[in-house]
Chain A
């Protein structure tokens, strides 16, 4: 059996991949048992794969091996402290769980400060951009700053205007009655809407990329298994035709019109 699996590994991978992909795409017709089956299969696989990796790549080399084979007996306390978390279910001993939770809250809070400083502070000074065009400039310490063209300057002005408008939208300390502040906050809100629109557009692009990858797998990787990419293409068209036929019948019966 194992020899068979080893010999036909590549073929099996392609067939299983194709069946799973088509099983998942069956949701596009409607909710069904095939889709449910593959959904649960994937959830279980992903969880099992993750747990196995945590053991082989982290717990085994960093904890089990030193503890059992190299005599680092003190590592047993790591597990004991970890198990303290489960005292959260005990009304009598849950103070032990609070000890370990408190410790990790402190660690996480401290780390959050460092994360904030390293992530956001560099973005503050770089938000101050030059807005007057100039040629190359040499600073007193010998650094040469590149020239700023008219188009760069215009870009920087646009950046500054957008930055200030969006920030003014978040002034909640007082009522925004002043006409300038009111208008800039309104503009800030519009500009954020544009950004959200752009992000949503990017999301569509990302989702399409996933679909293209699966179609590429079905047609170009799996296709040769059943006679070539063209055969797989025809199979896909046949499946789409079947779905449309079933959809039409369902709509005629008034079960599901498929309208979004």
Chain B
């Protein structure tokens, strides 16, 4: 008995890793979907985009890279799907060097489905440094600050930028991020220009972001993988988020099970030892 209890407290970590891998991959081959409720935070962002008139201009911050791709890519995909479906114009802006390319690939892949064209319906402003100072300059003069898109085309000549001069012309500001770039957006763009702002953020960052949602600085929020699944459900397009959620749920169950087993074994061993049971 004591040996079993000891084993449960000293399981080889590599055994756990192997088990975790199995639990994560198996749901890829099983076609099932656990029920999920759409949270108010996610629905509010969806409703805000739904309420925008056709042709409105949306700025989409894509401040993520390979490090948070698991969560940020489903966010970006779901939001671009929604923007294209609603026939909204949008611009990608990255303060992460990888963000500009990763988001560009997503937009290029989805544009055919919705009959969108780069430069006409959407544009990529590219990667920019020094977010604080950049946004200070960007707010009053978008064309003069960005100057050209990632292909070197003068921004002022692009059809997508027609009628867009400063931040007051932005109907909605969105940021998909794995870091605190959304705070800088609030500090130097959302706050000064009283813009509506939505956020897609990683699970790690989400608890802090809820303060901003309560304060009205954010109109809606997509938190982590769970949020991505909720958004895909609202759109009716099961994507990466939906598929990953089954794996995420299974992995969480495994982690919880082993935490409980380990602690239970520790308590039982202590009791046995207290009773003098050198079993």
Instruction: Give complex CA distance A243, B13 in Å.
Output: 11
Q: Contact between B29 and A118 (Cβ–Cβ < 8 Å)?
A: no
Interface of A is mostly: helix
**Chain A contacts for B10, CB-based, 8 A:** 257, 259-260
CB B77 to nearest CB in A, in angstroms, measures 12
Asked if B215 lies at the interface with its beta carbon under 8 angstroms from chain A, I say yes
Which residue of chain B has the shortest Cβ distance to A200 in the bound complex?
A: B204
**Most chain B beta-carbon neighbours within 10 Å: one of A206, A212, A230:** A212
Main secondary structure of the interface of B (DSSP, over half): helix
A208 within 8 A of B: yes
Are A216 and B128 in contact, CB atoms less than 8 angstroms apart? no
| Contacting residues, chain A, for B255 (C-beta < 8 A) | 204
Kindly report which residue of chain B lies nearest to residue A240, judged by CB atoms.
B18
Tell me the complex Cα distance, A219–B220, Å: 33
Interface residues of B in 127-154 (CB under 8 A from A): 127-129, 132-133, 136, 147-148, 150, 152
A247 touches B12 (CB 8 A): yes
Contact B129 A58 (CB under 8 A): yes
Q: Is A136 an interface residue (CB 8 A)?
A: no
* Interface magnitude class on chain A: 35 or more
- Of residues 172 through 190 on chain B, the ones whose CB sits less than 8 Å from some CB of chain A are 183-184, 186-188, 190
**Contact call A258/B13, Cβ cutoff below 8 A:** yes
Is B165's CB within 8 Å of the partner chain A?
no
Asked if residues B12 and A229 are in contact (CB atoms below 8 Å), the reply is no
Cα A215 to Cα B98 with chains together (Å): 21
A57 to B67, CA, bound (A): 22
B15 and A244 form a contact (CB under 8 A): yes
In the bound complex, CA of A118 to CA of B132 (Å): 13
Task: Scan A192-209; emit 1 where CB is below 8 A from any B CB, else 0.
Answer: 000100110011111011
A209:B29 contact, CB within 8 angstroms? no
Contacts of A214 in B (CB 8 A): 70
**C-alpha gap A67/B266 in the complex (Å):** 70
Contact in complex: A237, B147 (CB < 8 Å): no
Contact A199 to B204, CB < 8 A, known contacts A50-B97, A118-B191, A209-B248: yes
Look across to chain B and name the residue whose beta carbon is closest to the beta carbon of A232.
Answer: B25
**Which residues of the partner chain B approach A215 to less than 8 Å between Cβ atoms?**
21, 24-25, 28, 247
A244 neighbours in B (Cβ, 8 Å): 12, 14-15, 18
Write out the residue numbers on chain B whose beta carbons fall within 8 Å of the beta carbon of A62.
147
Bound Cα distance from A203 to B183, whole angstroms: 19
* B247 pairs with A118, CB closer than 8 A: no
Question: Residue B11 at the A interface, CB < 8 A?
Answer: yes
Check B248 against A213 for contact (C-beta < 8 Å).
no
Is A114 on the interface with B (CB-CB < 8 A)? Answer: yes
Look across to chain B and name the residue whose beta carbon is closest to the beta carbon of A218: B25
CB–CB B29/A230 < 8 A: yes
Give A260 to B259 CA distance when docked, in angstroms: 13
- Check: A220 CB closer than 8 A to any chain B CB: yes
A132 at the interface (CB under 8 A from B): no
Q: Is A138 an interface residue (CB 8 A)?
A: no
Contact partner, B129, options A54, A111, A237, A259, Cβ 8 Å: A54
CB distance from A77 to the nearest CB of B (A): 17
27 contacts between A and B (CB under 8 A): A49-B97, A53-B100, A57-B100, A57-B150, A58-B127, A61-B147, A61-B152, A111-B133, A118-B187, A118-B190, A119-B187, A123-B217, A198-B207, A206-B68, A208-B24, A211-B24, A211-B251, A215-B24, A215-B247, A240-B17, A243-B14, A244-B15, A247-B12, A251-B12, A257-B12, A259-B12, A259-B13
Give the top 6 A-B pairs by smallest Cβ distance, nearest first: A118-B191, A213-B70, A258-B12, A209-B70, A240-B18, A115-B187
- Apart from A57-B126, A114-B187, what are 16 other A-B pairs with CB-CB below 8 Å? A61-B152, A122-B191, A202-B224, A203-B204, A205-B225, A209-B203, A210-B69, A210-B70, A212-B24, A212-B244, A213-B240, A219-B25, A247-B14, A247-B15, A257-B10, A258-B14
